[in-house]
Structure 1
Amino acid sequence: MTPESGNDDLLGPVLRQVRAGNGFEEALQQILRIVRLGLVAGGERLPPERELADRMGISRVTLREVLKVLQDQGLVESRRGRYGGTFVLPRPDTPAGGAEEELRRRVAGVDIEDVLRFREVLETGAAGLCAAQGLTTEGARRLREALAATQDAPLSEYRRLDTLLHLTLAELSGSATLTAQYAAVRATVNDLLDCIPLLVRNLEHSQRQHAALVDAILERDAEAARELMREHCCGTAALLRGFLA
Protein backbone atom coordinates (compact mmCIF):
# COMPACT_ATOMS: atom_id res chain seq x y z
CA MET A 1 0.00 0.00 0.00
CA THR A 2 1.43 3.37 -0.96
CA PRO A 3 0.77 6.57 0.98
CA GLU A 4 -1.48 7.73 -1.88
CA SER A 5 -3.65 4.63 -1.49
CA GLY A 6 -4.49 4.81 2.19
CA ASN A 7 -1.68 5.48 4.69
CA ASP A 8 -1.26 9.17 3.95
CA ASP A 9 -3.54 10.09 6.86
CA LEU A 10 -1.11 8.33 9.22
CA LEU A 11 1.78 10.49 7.99
CA GLY A 12 0.11 13.57 9.47
CA PRO A 13 1.29 13.00 13.06
CA VAL A 14 4.86 12.46 11.82
CA LEU A 15 5.26 15.08 9.09
CA ARG A 16 5.13 18.49 10.72
CA GLN A 17 6.51 21.96 10.15
CA VAL A 18 10.08 22.04 11.42
CA ARG A 19 11.77 24.81 13.37
CA ALA A 20 13.91 27.13 11.29
CA GLY A 21 17.11 26.57 13.21
CA ASN A 22 17.09 22.78 12.90
CA GLY A 23 15.40 22.24 9.54
CA PHE A 24 17.78 19.57 8.26
CA GLU A 25 18.00 17.63 11.53
CA GLU A 26 14.27 17.67 12.26
CA ALA A 27 13.36 16.74 8.67
CA LEU A 28 15.79 13.82 8.83
CA GLN A 29 14.25 12.70 12.12
CA GLN A 30 10.74 12.80 10.68
CA ILE A 31 11.52 10.80 7.55
CA LEU A 32 13.56 8.30 9.54
CA ARG A 33 10.51 7.85 11.76
CA ILE A 34 8.33 7.15 8.70
CA VAL A 35 10.77 4.43 7.63
CA ARG A 36 11.19 2.95 11.11
CA LEU A 37 7.43 2.82 11.71
CA GLY A 38 6.83 1.20 8.34
CA LEU A 39 4.36 3.92 7.30
CA VAL A 40 5.84 3.45 3.83
CA ALA A 41 6.61 -0.21 3.25
CA GLY A 42 9.84 -1.56 1.80
CA GLY A 43 9.75 -1.31 -1.98
CA GLU A 44 7.20 1.51 -1.97
CA ARG A 45 7.59 5.20 -2.71
CA LEU A 46 7.78 8.13 -0.32
CA PRO A 47 5.45 11.05 -1.06
CA PRO A 48 6.73 13.39 -3.83
CA GLU A 49 9.52 15.80 -2.92
CA ARG A 50 7.30 18.87 -3.28
CA GLU A 51 4.72 17.42 -0.88
CA LEU A 52 7.35 16.41 1.69
CA ALA A 53 9.04 19.82 1.53
CA ASP A 54 5.73 21.69 1.85
CA ARG A 55 4.51 19.62 4.79
CA MET A 56 7.75 20.12 6.72
CA GLY A 57 8.28 23.74 5.66
CA ILE A 58 11.76 23.21 4.21
CA SER A 59 13.34 23.89 0.84
CA ARG A 60 13.67 21.10 -1.70
CA VAL A 61 17.44 21.59 -1.51
CA THR A 62 17.35 20.75 2.20
CA LEU A 63 15.04 17.81 1.54
CA ARG A 64 17.41 16.40 -1.08
CA GLU A 65 20.26 16.62 1.43
CA VAL A 66 18.12 14.61 3.86
CA LEU A 67 17.27 12.00 1.22
CA LYS A 68 20.97 11.75 0.26
CA VAL A 69 21.82 10.83 3.87
CA LEU A 70 19.11 8.17 3.90
CA GLN A 71 20.38 6.82 0.58
CA ASP A 72 23.94 6.68 1.87
CA GLN A 73 22.66 4.70 4.86
CA GLY A 74 21.01 2.16 2.58
CA LEU A 75 17.48 3.04 3.69
CA VAL A 76 16.11 4.49 0.45
CA GLU A 77 17.01 4.64 -3.22
CA SER A 78 16.26 7.17 -5.95
CA ARG A 79 14.75 6.01 -9.23
CA ARG A 80 14.42 8.06 -12.39
CA GLY A 81 11.77 8.05 -15.05
CA ARG A 82 8.00 8.39 -15.25
CA TYR A 83 7.45 6.08 -12.28
CA GLY A 84 10.50 7.27 -10.39
CA GLY A 85 10.88 8.85 -7.00
CA THR A 86 12.42 7.92 -3.67
CA PHE A 87 11.69 4.34 -2.63
CA VAL A 88 12.13 2.75 0.78
CA LEU A 89 14.42 -0.26 0.57
CA PRO A 90 13.12 -3.52 2.06
CA ARG A 91 14.60 -4.44 5.40
CA PRO A 92 15.99 -7.93 5.98
CA ASP A 93 13.59 -10.34 7.69
CA THR A 94 16.01 -10.86 10.58
CA PRO A 95 19.13 -8.96 11.58
CA ALA A 96 22.34 -10.90 11.11
CA GLY A 97 25.91 -10.52 12.27
CA GLY A 98 26.91 -6.89 12.55
CA ALA A 99 23.34 -5.74 11.94
CA GLU A 100 22.15 -7.36 15.16
CA GLU A 101 25.09 -5.87 17.04
CA GLU A 102 24.24 -2.46 15.61
CA LEU A 103 20.61 -2.78 16.72
CA ARG A 104 21.65 -3.65 20.24
CA ARG A 105 24.13 -0.79 20.32
CA ARG A 106 21.40 1.61 19.20
CA VAL A 107 19.07 0.64 22.05
CA ALA A 108 21.79 0.29 24.70
CA GLY A 109 21.06 3.76 26.06
CA VAL A 110 17.27 3.42 25.96
CA ASP A 111 15.44 3.47 29.30
CA ILE A 112 13.28 0.46 28.50
CA GLU A 113 11.06 0.81 31.56
CA ASP A 114 10.31 4.46 30.78
CA VAL A 115 9.46 3.65 27.15
CA LEU A 116 7.18 0.77 28.10
CA ARG A 117 5.33 2.76 30.77
CA PHE A 118 4.77 5.71 28.44
CA ARG A 119 3.59 3.41 25.67
CA GLU A 120 1.08 1.76 28.01
CA VAL A 121 -0.31 5.11 29.17
CA LEU A 122 -0.76 6.38 25.60
CA GLU A 123 -2.22 3.17 24.19
CA THR A 124 -4.59 2.59 27.09
CA GLY A 125 -5.77 6.18 26.85
CA ALA A 126 -6.29 5.97 23.11
CA ALA A 127 -8.30 2.75 23.37
CA GLY A 128 -10.48 4.24 26.10
CA LEU A 129 -11.10 7.43 24.14
CA CYS A 130 -12.05 5.55 20.97
CA ALA A 131 -14.53 3.39 22.86
CA ALA A 132 -16.00 6.15 25.02
CA GLN A 133 -16.65 8.60 22.20
CA GLY A 134 -17.46 6.00 19.56
CA LEU A 135 -16.13 5.82 16.03
CA THR A 136 -17.65 7.14 12.85
CA THR A 137 -18.61 4.65 10.16
CA GLU A 138 -15.37 5.54 8.34
CA GLY A 139 -13.32 5.19 11.52
CA ALA A 140 -14.79 1.77 12.26
CA ARG A 141 -14.04 0.67 8.69
CA ARG A 142 -10.42 1.80 8.98
CA LEU A 143 -9.97 -0.01 12.29
CA ARG A 144 -11.46 -3.25 10.95
CA GLU A 145 -9.29 -3.08 7.83
CA ALA A 146 -6.14 -2.48 9.88
CA LEU A 147 -7.00 -5.48 12.05
CA ALA A 148 -7.69 -7.68 9.00
CA ALA A 149 -4.33 -6.70 7.50
CA THR A 150 -2.50 -8.02 10.57
CA GLN A 151 -4.47 -11.25 10.50
CA ASP A 152 -3.45 -11.97 6.91
CA ALA A 153 0.14 -10.77 7.29
CA PRO A 154 3.16 -12.97 6.53
CA LEU A 155 5.76 -13.00 9.30
CA SER A 156 8.03 -10.64 7.36
CA GLU A 157 5.27 -7.97 7.31
CA TYR A 158 3.67 -8.57 10.68
CA ARG A 159 5.45 -5.94 12.76
CA ARG A 160 4.92 -3.21 10.19
CA LEU A 161 1.18 -3.96 9.93
CA ASP A 162 0.90 -4.31 13.69
CA THR A 163 2.41 -0.83 13.96
CA LEU A 164 -0.14 0.53 11.48
CA LEU A 165 -3.01 -0.99 13.48
CA HIS A 166 -1.83 0.69 16.68
CA LEU A 167 -1.16 4.00 14.92
CA THR A 168 -4.64 3.89 13.37
CA LEU A 169 -6.13 3.42 16.83
CA ALA A 170 -4.12 6.35 18.19
CA GLU A 171 -5.16 8.58 15.29
CA LEU A 172 -8.85 7.64 15.73
CA SER A 173 -8.69 8.85 19.34
CA GLY A 174 -9.05 12.37 17.94
CA SER A 175 -6.00 13.77 19.76
CA ALA A 176 -3.26 14.95 17.42
CA THR A 177 -0.86 15.38 20.35
CA LEU A 178 -1.46 11.85 21.61
CA THR A 179 -0.98 10.47 18.11
CA ALA A 180 2.29 12.35 17.60
CA GLN A 181 3.63 11.22 20.97
CA TYR A 182 2.63 7.64 20.22
CA ALA A 183 4.34 7.71 16.83
CA ALA A 184 7.54 8.82 18.56
CA VAL A 185 7.46 6.18 21.30
CA ARG A 186 6.43 3.44 18.87
CA ALA A 187 9.53 4.11 16.77
CA THR A 188 11.63 3.33 19.85
CA VAL A 189 9.51 0.27 20.67
CA ASN A 190 10.09 -1.00 17.13
CA ASP A 191 13.85 -0.64 17.58
CA LEU A 192 13.55 -2.77 20.70
CA LEU A 193 11.34 -5.33 18.97
CA ASP A 194 13.86 -5.63 16.13
CA CYS A 195 16.33 -6.97 18.69
CA ILE A 196 14.19 -9.98 19.63
CA PRO A 197 12.82 -12.88 17.57
CA LEU A 198 9.29 -13.16 16.20
CA LEU A 199 7.55 -15.89 18.18
CA VAL A 200 4.58 -17.47 16.41
CA ARG A 201 2.80 -18.37 19.64
CA ASN A 202 3.10 -14.80 20.88
CA LEU A 203 1.77 -13.44 17.57
CA GLU A 204 -1.25 -15.75 17.74
CA HIS A 205 -1.95 -14.52 21.27
CA SER A 206 -1.54 -10.90 20.17
CA GLN A 207 -4.02 -11.43 17.36
CA ARG A 208 -6.65 -12.73 19.78
CA GLN A 209 -6.06 -9.68 21.95
CA HIS A 210 -6.32 -7.37 18.93
CA ALA A 211 -9.65 -8.90 17.90
CA ALA A 212 -11.11 -8.62 21.41
CA LEU A 213 -9.85 -5.04 21.68
CA VAL A 214 -11.44 -3.97 18.41
CA ASP A 215 -14.73 -5.61 19.45
CA ALA A 216 -14.70 -3.72 22.76
CA ILE A 217 -14.04 -0.42 21.00
CA LEU A 218 -16.80 -0.97 18.45
CA GLU A 219 -19.18 -1.94 21.27
CA ARG A 220 -18.21 1.30 23.08
CA ASP A 221 -17.07 -0.57 26.19
CA ALA A 222 -14.35 1.83 27.36
CA GLU A 223 -13.46 -0.08 30.54
CA ALA A 224 -12.95 -3.34 28.64
CA ALA A 225 -11.00 -1.57 25.88
CA ARG A 226 -8.61 -0.01 28.39
CA GLU A 227 -8.08 -3.28 30.25
CA LEU A 228 -7.53 -5.29 27.05
CA MET A 229 -5.00 -2.75 25.80
CA ARG A 230 -3.22 -2.71 29.15
CA GLU A 231 -2.96 -6.51 29.07
CA HIS A 232 -1.69 -6.41 25.49
CA CYS A 233 1.01 -3.85 26.32
CA CYS A 234 2.06 -5.88 29.37
CA GLY A 235 2.57 -8.96 27.19
CA THR A 236 4.90 -7.13 24.83
CA ALA A 237 6.69 -5.56 27.80
CA ALA A 238 7.28 -8.97 29.37
CA LEU A 239 8.93 -10.26 26.18
CA LEU A 240 11.16 -7.20 25.85
CA ARG A 241 12.21 -7.36 29.49
CA GLY A 242 12.94 -11.06 29.15
CA PHE A 243 15.15 -10.69 26.09
CA LEU A 244 16.75 -7.29 26.72
CA ALA A 245 16.78 -6.47 30.42
Structure 2
Amino acid sequence: MSARTPSRAQRVAAAIEDGILAGRTAVGASLGRRTDLIEAHGVSPTVMNETLRILRDRGLVEVRPGPGGGVFVIGSPPQVRLGALDLWFSPGTQDPLGLFEARNHLEELLTTVALDRAGPEDLRDMEWAVEEMRAAREPRAFLEANMRLHLAIARAARIPVLSGTYEAVVAILRNSLARVELLPGHDEMYTHNIEVHAQIVAAIRDRDREALTKLGALHREDLVRATDPSRSPSSP
Protein backbone atom coordinates (compact mmCIF):
# COMPACT_ATOMS: atom_id res chain seq x y z
CA MET A 1 0.00 0.00 0.00
CA SER A 2 1.36 3.44 -0.84
CA ALA A 3 2.14 5.70 2.10
CA ARG A 4 0.32 9.00 2.25
CA THR A 5 2.22 12.16 3.13
CA PRO A 6 0.75 13.57 6.35
CA SER A 7 -0.97 16.95 6.08
CA ARG A 8 0.25 19.98 8.01
CA ALA A 9 -2.65 19.56 10.46
CA GLN A 10 -1.77 15.89 11.01
CA ARG A 11 1.86 16.79 11.70
CA VAL A 12 0.85 19.47 14.22
CA ALA A 13 -1.58 17.03 15.89
CA ALA A 14 1.24 14.47 16.17
CA ALA A 15 3.55 17.10 17.71
CA ILE A 16 0.92 18.02 20.31
CA GLU A 17 0.38 14.34 21.12
CA ASP A 18 4.13 13.86 21.53
CA GLY A 19 4.15 16.70 24.06
CA ILE A 20 1.37 15.06 26.06
CA LEU A 21 3.16 11.68 25.98
CA ALA A 22 6.43 13.26 27.09
CA GLY A 23 4.66 14.60 30.17
CA ARG A 24 4.96 18.24 29.21
CA THR A 25 1.17 18.56 29.51
CA ALA A 26 -0.83 16.35 31.87
CA VAL A 27 -4.42 15.21 31.40
CA GLY A 28 -6.65 18.04 32.66
CA ALA A 29 -4.11 20.76 31.88
CA SER A 30 -4.57 23.58 29.40
CA LEU A 31 -2.66 23.75 26.13
CA GLY A 32 -3.53 27.44 25.90
CA ARG A 33 -6.02 29.24 23.77
CA ARG A 34 -6.47 28.54 20.08
CA THR A 35 -4.56 31.72 19.20
CA ASP A 36 -1.66 30.60 21.41
CA LEU A 37 -1.43 27.30 19.54
CA ILE A 38 -1.58 29.04 16.17
CA GLU A 39 1.38 31.20 17.18
CA ALA A 40 3.33 28.35 18.82
CA HIS A 41 3.08 26.09 15.76
CA GLY A 42 3.25 28.79 13.09
CA VAL A 43 0.12 27.70 11.24
CA SER A 44 -2.99 29.34 9.87
CA PRO A 45 -6.34 29.37 11.71
CA THR A 46 -7.67 26.89 9.12
CA VAL A 47 -4.86 24.42 9.80
CA MET A 48 -5.33 24.78 13.56
CA ASN A 49 -9.08 24.17 13.24
CA GLU A 50 -8.32 20.90 11.42
CA THR A 51 -5.66 20.01 14.02
CA LEU A 52 -8.13 20.48 16.86
CA ARG A 53 -10.75 18.45 14.99
CA ILE A 54 -8.26 15.57 14.68
CA LEU A 55 -7.39 15.74 18.38
CA ARG A 56 -11.06 15.98 19.42
CA ASP A 57 -11.95 12.99 17.23
CA ARG A 58 -9.22 11.02 19.01
CA GLY A 59 -10.69 11.94 22.40
CA LEU A 60 -7.56 13.82 23.43
CA VAL A 61 -8.67 17.45 23.80
CA GLU A 62 -11.73 19.60 24.26
CA VAL A 63 -12.19 23.28 23.47
CA ARG A 64 -13.87 25.28 26.23
CA PRO A 65 -15.29 28.71 25.35
CA GLY A 66 -15.44 31.86 27.44
CA PRO A 67 -13.24 33.30 30.20
CA GLY A 68 -10.86 30.68 31.51
CA GLY A 69 -11.47 28.63 28.41
CA GLY A 70 -9.07 27.27 25.86
CA VAL A 71 -7.88 23.86 24.69
CA PHE A 72 -7.67 21.25 27.46
CA VAL A 73 -6.17 17.76 27.49
CA ILE A 74 -8.81 15.14 28.35
CA GLY A 75 -7.05 11.89 27.39
CA SER A 76 -3.64 10.29 26.89
CA PRO A 77 -2.51 9.44 23.34
CA PRO A 78 -1.35 5.93 22.42
CA GLN A 79 2.33 5.15 22.92
CA VAL A 80 2.49 3.04 19.74
CA ARG A 81 0.79 3.27 16.36
CA LEU A 82 0.97 -0.11 14.66
CA GLY A 83 -0.45 0.34 11.19
CA ALA A 84 -4.20 0.78 11.69
CA LEU A 85 -4.01 0.00 15.43
CA ASP A 86 -3.48 2.42 18.32
CA LEU A 87 -1.93 0.82 21.42
CA TRP A 88 -1.81 2.05 25.02
CA PHE A 89 0.38 0.45 27.70
CA SER A 90 0.32 0.38 31.49
CA PRO A 91 2.17 3.18 33.30
CA GLY A 92 5.80 2.30 33.86
CA THR A 93 6.12 0.06 30.79
CA GLN A 94 9.70 0.37 29.59
CA ASP A 95 9.81 1.81 26.06
CA PRO A 96 6.95 -0.07 24.35
CA LEU A 97 7.95 1.35 20.97
CA GLY A 98 11.46 -0.04 21.46
CA LEU A 99 9.99 -3.43 22.36
CA PHE A 100 8.02 -3.47 19.11
CA GLU A 101 11.14 -2.55 17.17
CA ALA A 102 13.02 -5.44 18.81
CA ARG A 103 10.09 -7.70 17.92
CA ASN A 104 10.24 -6.58 14.28
CA HIS A 105 13.96 -7.25 13.95
CA LEU A 106 13.61 -10.72 15.47
CA GLU A 107 10.65 -11.49 13.20
CA GLU A 108 12.65 -10.62 10.10
CA LEU A 109 15.40 -13.09 10.99
CA LEU A 110 13.16 -15.86 12.32
CA THR A 111 10.78 -15.73 9.34
CA THR A 112 13.69 -16.10 6.92
CA VAL A 113 14.95 -19.20 8.76
CA ALA A 114 11.44 -20.65 9.15
CA LEU A 115 11.16 -20.70 5.36
CA ASP A 116 13.68 -23.57 5.32
CA ARG A 117 12.73 -25.35 8.56
CA ALA A 118 8.94 -25.18 9.01
CA GLY A 119 7.19 -28.55 9.08
CA PRO A 120 3.54 -29.55 8.54
CA GLU A 121 2.57 -28.96 12.18
CA ASP A 122 4.18 -25.51 12.15
CA LEU A 123 2.25 -24.62 9.01
CA ARG A 124 -1.03 -25.76 10.57
CA ASP A 125 -0.38 -23.50 13.56
CA MET A 126 0.35 -20.57 11.23
CA GLU A 127 -2.76 -21.18 9.13
CA TRP A 128 -4.96 -21.41 12.23
CA ALA A 129 -3.57 -18.09 13.47
CA VAL A 130 -4.35 -16.43 10.12
CA GLU A 131 -7.93 -17.72 10.35
CA GLU A 132 -8.14 -16.29 13.87
CA MET A 133 -7.03 -12.93 12.47
CA ARG A 134 -9.79 -13.13 9.85
CA ALA A 135 -12.38 -14.07 12.48
CA ALA A 136 -11.38 -11.41 15.03
CA ARG A 137 -14.21 -8.98 15.74
CA GLU A 138 -12.32 -6.55 17.93
CA PRO A 139 -8.82 -5.07 17.71
CA ARG A 140 -7.29 -6.79 20.74
CA ALA A 141 -8.35 -10.23 19.47
CA PHE A 142 -6.82 -9.36 16.10
CA LEU A 143 -3.52 -8.36 17.72
CA GLU A 144 -3.49 -11.55 19.83
CA ALA A 145 -3.99 -13.68 16.72
CA ASN A 146 -1.22 -11.75 14.98
CA MET A 147 1.12 -12.47 17.89
CA ARG A 148 0.20 -16.17 17.82
CA LEU A 149 1.03 -16.30 14.12
CA HIS A 150 4.46 -14.76 14.59
CA LEU A 151 5.13 -16.99 17.61
CA ALA A 152 4.38 -20.03 15.42
CA ILE A 153 6.80 -18.71 12.79
CA ALA A 154 9.46 -18.05 15.46
CA ARG A 155 9.18 -21.60 16.81
CA ALA A 156 9.35 -23.03 13.29
CA ALA A 157 12.82 -21.48 12.89
CA ARG A 158 14.18 -24.01 15.44
CA ILE A 159 16.58 -21.54 17.08
CA PRO A 160 15.58 -21.76 20.77
CA VAL A 161 17.75 -18.85 21.94
CA LEU A 162 16.19 -16.44 19.43
CA SER A 163 12.64 -17.79 19.64
CA GLY A 164 12.89 -17.67 23.45
CA THR A 165 13.99 -14.04 23.29
CA TYR A 166 11.12 -13.30 20.93
CA GLU A 167 8.62 -14.97 23.27
CA ALA A 168 9.95 -12.92 26.20
CA VAL A 169 9.46 -9.66 24.27
CA VAL A 170 5.92 -10.67 23.28
CA ALA A 171 5.12 -11.63 26.90
CA ILE A 172 6.13 -8.16 28.12
CA LEU A 173 3.97 -6.51 25.45
CA ARG A 174 0.97 -8.73 26.23
CA ASN A 175 1.20 -8.25 29.98
CA SER A 176 1.55 -4.47 29.81
CA LEU A 177 -0.96 -3.78 27.02
CA ALA A 178 -3.83 -1.73 28.44
CA ARG A 179 -5.93 -0.84 25.40
CA VAL A 180 -6.12 -1.44 21.64
CA GLU A 181 -8.26 0.46 19.15
CA LEU A 182 -8.69 0.34 15.38
CA LEU A 183 -8.30 3.76 13.81
CA PRO A 184 -11.64 4.71 12.21
CA GLY A 185 -11.67 4.65 8.43
CA HIS A 186 -8.73 2.26 8.10
CA ASP A 187 -10.60 -0.99 7.42
CA GLU A 188 -8.80 -1.36 4.08
CA MET A 189 -5.40 -1.29 5.81
CA TYR A 190 -6.69 -3.85 8.34
CA THR A 191 -7.86 -6.22 5.56
CA HIS A 192 -4.65 -5.75 3.57
CA ASN A 193 -2.60 -6.69 6.64
CA ILE A 194 -4.47 -10.00 6.98
CA GLU A 195 -3.86 -10.86 3.33
CA VAL A 196 -0.15 -10.06 3.60
CA HIS A 197 0.15 -12.43 6.57
CA ALA A 198 -1.76 -15.15 4.70
CA GLN A 199 0.63 -14.79 1.77
CA ILE A 200 3.66 -14.92 4.11
CA VAL A 201 2.42 -18.29 5.38
CA ALA A 202 1.90 -19.45 1.79
CA ALA A 203 5.46 -18.39 0.88
CA ILE A 204 6.85 -20.34 3.85
CA ARG A 205 4.79 -23.38 2.83
CA ASP A 206 6.04 -23.16 -0.77
CA ARG A 207 9.66 -22.37 0.24
CA ASP A 208 9.36 -19.30 -2.00
CA ARG A 209 12.16 -17.00 -0.88
CA GLU A 210 11.58 -14.39 -3.59
CA ALA A 211 7.92 -14.02 -2.63
CA LEU A 212 8.81 -13.87 1.06
CA THR A 213 11.27 -11.03 0.43
CA LYS A 214 8.61 -8.99 -1.37
CA LEU A 215 6.02 -9.74 1.30
CA GLY A 216 8.47 -8.73 4.02
CA ALA A 217 8.66 -5.27 2.45
CA LEU A 218 4.84 -5.03 2.39
CA HIS A 219 4.68 -6.18 6.01
CA ARG A 220 7.14 -3.48 7.08
CA GLU A 221 5.11 -0.86 5.22
CA ASP A 222 1.90 -2.01 6.93
CA LEU A 223 3.45 -1.41 10.36
CA VAL A 224 4.02 2.30 9.79
CA ARG A 225 1.27 4.89 10.24
CA ALA A 226 2.02 7.34 7.44
CA THR A 227 0.35 10.20 9.30
CA ASP A 228 2.44 9.65 12.46
CA PRO A 229 5.57 7.60 11.71
CA SER A 230 7.39 8.76 14.87
CA ARG A 231 5.28 6.39 16.98
CA SER A 232 5.39 3.49 14.53
CA PRO A 233 8.10 0.85 15.09
CA SER A 234 11.00 0.88 12.65
CA SER A 235 12.10 -2.31 10.90
CA PRO A 236 15.33 -3.63 9.41
Per the normalisation by structure 1, the TM-score is 0.49
CA distance in 2, matches of 1:101, 1:208: 26
Greater relative CO, 1 or 2 (CA 8 Å, sep 6+): 2
Letter in 2 for 1:168: A
Letter in 2 for 1:150: M
Tell me which residue corresponds to 1:178: 162
Residues 173-212 of structure 1: matches in 2 within 5 Å? 173-187=157-171, 194=179, 197-198=182-183, 199-212=186-199
Tell me which residue corresponds to 2:112: 128
Answering whether residue 91 of structure 2 is matched by residue 106 of structure 1, we say yes
Matched positions, count: 149
CA drift of 1:214 comes to 0.9
CA drift of 1:183 comes to 2.3
Tell me which residue corresponds to 2:137: 154
Answering whether residue 208 of structure 2 is matched by residue 221 of structure 1, we say yes
CA drift of 1:217 comes to 0.6
Per the normalisation by structure 2, the TM-score is 0.50
CA drift of 1:99 comes to 8.5
Structure 1 portions without partners, runs of 5+ = 1-94
Tell me which residue corresponds to 1:145: 128
CA drift of 1:237 comes to 3.4
CA drift of 1:219 comes to 0.6
Letter in 1 for 2:111: A
CA distance in 2, matches of 1:238, 1:158: 17
Could you tell me whether the CA contact under 8 Å between 1:127 and 1:222 is conserved in 2?
Answer: no
Larger radius of gyration: 2
Counterpart of 2:182 in 1: which secondary structure? Answer: coil
CA distance in 2, matches of 1:240, 1:106: 25
Letter in 1 for 2:102: F
Q: Which has the higher helix share?
A: 1
CA drift of 1:239 comes to 6.0
Counterpart of 2:91 in 1: which secondary structure? Answer: helix
Residues 73-84 of structure 1: matches in 2 within 5 Å? none
CA offsets per residue over residues 35-76 of structure 1, 9 Å max, x none?
xxxxxxxxxxxxxxxxxxxxxxxxxxxxxxxxxxxxxxxxxx
CA drift of 1:108 comes to 7.7
CA drift of 1:242 comes to 3.7
CA distance in 2, matches of 1:188, 1:243: 22
Residues 52-91 of structure 1: matches in 2 within 5 Å? none
Root-mean-square deviation (CA, aligned residues, Å) is: 3.7
Specify whether residues 128 and 193 from structure 1 end up closer, same or farther in structure 2 by C-alpha distance, changes over 3 A only. Answer: farther
CA offsets per residue over residues 75-131 of structure 1, 9 Å max, x none?
xxxxxxxxxxxxxxxxxxxx998787894673786273x444432321111111111
